[in-house]
Structure formats: C-alpha cells, structure tokens
Structure 1
Amino acid sequence: MSIFPDFLRSVLLTMVLSFLTPILVISFGLASSAIIGCLPFLETIGQFSCQQILQFLATFGSGHPLQGSLIIGITCSLVGGLFDTYASYQSPRSQ
C-alpha cells in the first residue's frame, strides 16, 4: 500500500514534464523564428518558418495554433504517463 503514493507521484511528475517539453520546444522554435525574422537579411526566412510552424499547429488544433500546441502537449503527456506505468510494471521496487 505504501508503494502507491510513490507510483502516483512518479506518474504525475512524468506527465507534467512530458507536457511541458513539447510546449517549450514549440515556443523556442517560434521565438527563434521571430528573432531571425527581425534580422534584415533573414527576414523572409524567419517569417516563412514562423508561418509554417503556426500552420502545422493549426492542423492539429482545428485551425487554432494554440489549441494545436495544447493537443500535442496533452498527447505527449498521456504517452509519457503510459510509458512510466509500463516501466514501473516491468521493474517493481523491492520492499
């Protein structure tokens, strides 16, 4: 019975980190594209890459980039939780 709180804490922490990782990667990609777009000789490349990232996110979010990034984050979170559950099942802790 005492192993359940440790298991639950592990799964919740894994899910939170698995949610934040794609959100941070997407944010970093958009921020770097915006910074590149501020440079005069790379303006078109920055704008094009920012537009492509937003279009990719809109595909997953039914036309809304923010909703698309949340869908990707939630999906990664669920996969991370399932993987942690599987890993915990495969290697039980000794008492």
Structure 2
Amino acid sequence: MVFSLFRSLFLSTLLSFAMPVILVGGILASLYTASYIPGFTWISETGTTQVSKFLAVFGNGCPLEGMLTIGFAFAFVGSLFDLFNFSMYQGLRNHSSEQAR
C-alpha cells in the first residue's frame, strides 16, 4: 500500500510540475513561431515580452526561474491533493470494510 502511495504521489507531482511548464513553453514557442509570419511580428514580440515579464515577477527578474517557481508551486499543490485523496480513500475503504462485516 505504501508503494502505491509513493508511485501515485510521484506521478501526480511530476505531472503537476510538467503541465504549467509545458503550457508556458507552448505559448512561448507559438509566439516565437508566429514571428516568422509577416504581419504578426509585433504581436509576437509584444506577447513574448509580456510573458517574459510575467515570469520574471515570480523569478526575481529571471523568466526561467519564474517558470520553475510556478512549476514547483503547482507540483506542491498537486502532491497535497494526491495525499488528501489517498487519506480520503483510506477512510472510505476502512468504513466500507466495517459495514461489510
């Protein structure tokens, strides 16, 4: 049972970290790609600047550090949700086995 808790905790933490990093990375990649389309250069530059400024707020001036900070915060919250879910499942499991007796 402990192994399944750690496996679930590891996977939920990993996915909770990866999702905001992938989302922000995808936004930056699409803005970078849009800069090659004529007429979208100013939109791409403005969007990239705004996303970088947003990330810099969370990273003490460094956008990469901001992205990692957001990812670690999401990972922490995801692991807390997983631990809560595990504790609720244990309570329901014990309650249902007592009713079966």
Mark yes or no: TM-score above 0.5: yes
Q: 1:7 aligns with which of 2, 5, 12?
A: 5
Match of 1:62 in 2: 60
Regions of 4+ moved over 3 Å? none
Aligned Cα root-mean-square deviation (Å):
1.3
| Counterpart AA for 1:91 | Y
| Counterpart AA for 2:22 | L
Percent identical: 33
Question: What TM-score, normalized to structure 2?
Answer: 0.87
Q: 1:91 aligns with which of 83, 86, 89?
A: 89
The structure that has the greater radius of gyration is 2
Q: 1:37 aligns with which of 35, 38, 58?
A: 35
**Aligned residues, how many?**
93
Question: What TM-score, normalized to structure 1?
Answer: 0.93
**1:6-54 deviations in whole A, cap 9, x for unaligned?**
1011001100111111110010000001111111111100110011000
